[in-house]
Amino acid sequence: MPAETPVIEMRHVDKHYGALHVLQDINLSVDKGEVVVLIGPSGSGKSTLCRTINRLETIDSGEILIEGEPLPQEGKELAKMRAEIGMVFQSFNLFAHKTILDNVTLGPREVLKTPKDVAEQEAMRLLARVGVEAQAHKVPAQLSGGQQQRVAIARSLAMHPKAMLFDEPTSALDPEMINEVLEVMVELAREGMTMVVVTHEMNFARRVSNRVIFMADGQIVEEGTPDEFFDHPKSLRAKDFLDSIRGH
Amino acid sequence: MGYSELFATYGEKYLQAIFETLSMTAVCFAIAMVLSVLITVMRVSPIKPLRIVGDLYVQVFRNIPGVALLIIVAYALPYLKIMLPWKACVEVAVVLLASAFGSENFMTGINAIGVGQIEAARSIGLTFTQTMTKIVIPQALRSAVLPMTNLLIATMLTTALGSQVPLNPQELTGLVSFITTRETAIGILPFTVSAVAYAGFSVLLGLAGNAIDKRVRVIR
């Protein structure tokens, strides 16, 4: 049986920042419904990798395919593709001058041309799903970090994405708010969303990910199921890294 | 000649002058705002020639004294067969000056917007134009209210350039020249009246600007 086309595929991707080789011959494919966690020390290139997938970072060589189609260059085609890939940032990046409701409806109304009332109904449903419907008419600065991040997830979901990218979604949060965001992500994963998650949350990785990819110095050093990786890391780099985040 | 005599003789002209100053201010500021948005969009656009033209515009018109600009528009352009009415000459000079400064105010507003706002906009699929009109310009406008209030006041004061060309009716500064050339013993009185008018309107505009800023400021 031929395998289904991967939702995201990277082939021999390279990227430099000046002399720094931040992505080195990256090959990665993410199937529909798969949850892939990218883990690694800071500066390993995991965020950069995540951001190349919707071309917030350009690449020097190699190929990135979304459902088998090459990632378009700048312009309308790229905007269209970006609309189909959700992105959740470390610092939430909600639109500061818009209400929570308008943050969620902006994409559907401007990009998908959804009528206002339909977009608002769906936005309220999504806000309820992530538990912040009571804040719909406030502006982002009035919400806690955890609430803002859940709104950011709702904003992405409103575009009915084929896949979602999470770039350290809980790293800027106070400890007591991390779980409320992770719970939303766990639920999304259970519902079959294709996800690429850059995170240090090992519990999350164990509970929901299908695959853990460990990066260091711009390379994929090893990958495996979460149990394999966390319990029996093969490379020295991964062992050192796991020791350091476990505080041994 | 005292105040009562001054107003008895020139009261009507003062009212006209106030109207002229305020209406020129309104016209110039409105046009300058539209122009500064356009120039600023050019300056942040992905197209390099547009960016260069936008930057050049600001550097040129920000760095020429208003009077020199007026002289160019009023007395040099006619050599190129461009002959504007006197009032339009003043307005063009004021608009060129104000739009250059206005664009700088918007740039400051844009620089205050985190790159994350723009990345978030691009990542939900907004095009460059949509990102500008829905995210960047609205936030830049809101954070530019206070500097733009200053610019509005400066625009009003710059319409005093109208005193350098024959306007009819005259604006507040031109009227002072008009009166002092006719009333030799009048001293500082006509200046004082115009100065009080300028200062009064500046204070009002400043208060209005503060009130608007409080309402629309983006909390981050």
Closest CA–CA distance from residue A162 to any residue of chain B (Å):
12
Query: pLDDT by residue (tens digit) across A200-229?
Result: 888 899 989 999 999 999 999 999 999 999
B22 touches chain A (CB under 8 A): no
Parallel, antiparallel, or unpaired: how do β-strands A61-66 and A69-70 relate?
Answer: antiparallel
CA distance B48 to A26: 32
Report the residue from B123, B134, B142 with minimal CB separation from A56: B123
A110 touches chain B (CB under 8 A): yes
Query: pLDDT by residue (tens digit) across A62-88?
Result: 999 999 999 998 788 899 999 999 999
A160 touches chain B (CB under 8 A): no
Q: Which residues partner with A220 through β-bridges?
A: A215
Closest CA–CA distance from residue B33 to any residue of chain A (Å):
21
- The shares of helix, strand and coil residues in chain B, as percent rounded to the nearest 5, are 85, 0, 15
From first to last of the 248 residues of chain A, give the pLDDT tens digit.
456 899 999 999 999 999 899 999 999 999 999 999 999 998 899 999 999 999 999 999 999 999 999 999 878 889 999 999 999 999 999 999 999 999 999 999 999 999 999 999 999 999 999 999 999 999 999 999 999 999 999 999 999 999 999 999 999 999 889 999 999 999 999 999 999 999 988 889 998 999 999 999 999 999 999 999 999 999 999 999 999 888 76
C-beta of residue A5 within 8 angstroms of C-beta of residue A31: no
- Reported ipTM: the value is 0.92
Nearest CA-CA partner of B28 in B96, B75, B74: B96
Tell whether the torsion through CA atoms of A211, A216, A220 and A222 is positive or negative. negative
- Spell out a b/e string for B48-63, using b for 16 or more CB atoms within 10 Å of the CB, else e: eeeeeebeebbeebee
Q: For residue B30, is pLDDT > 70? A: yes
- State the pLDDT at residue B114: 87
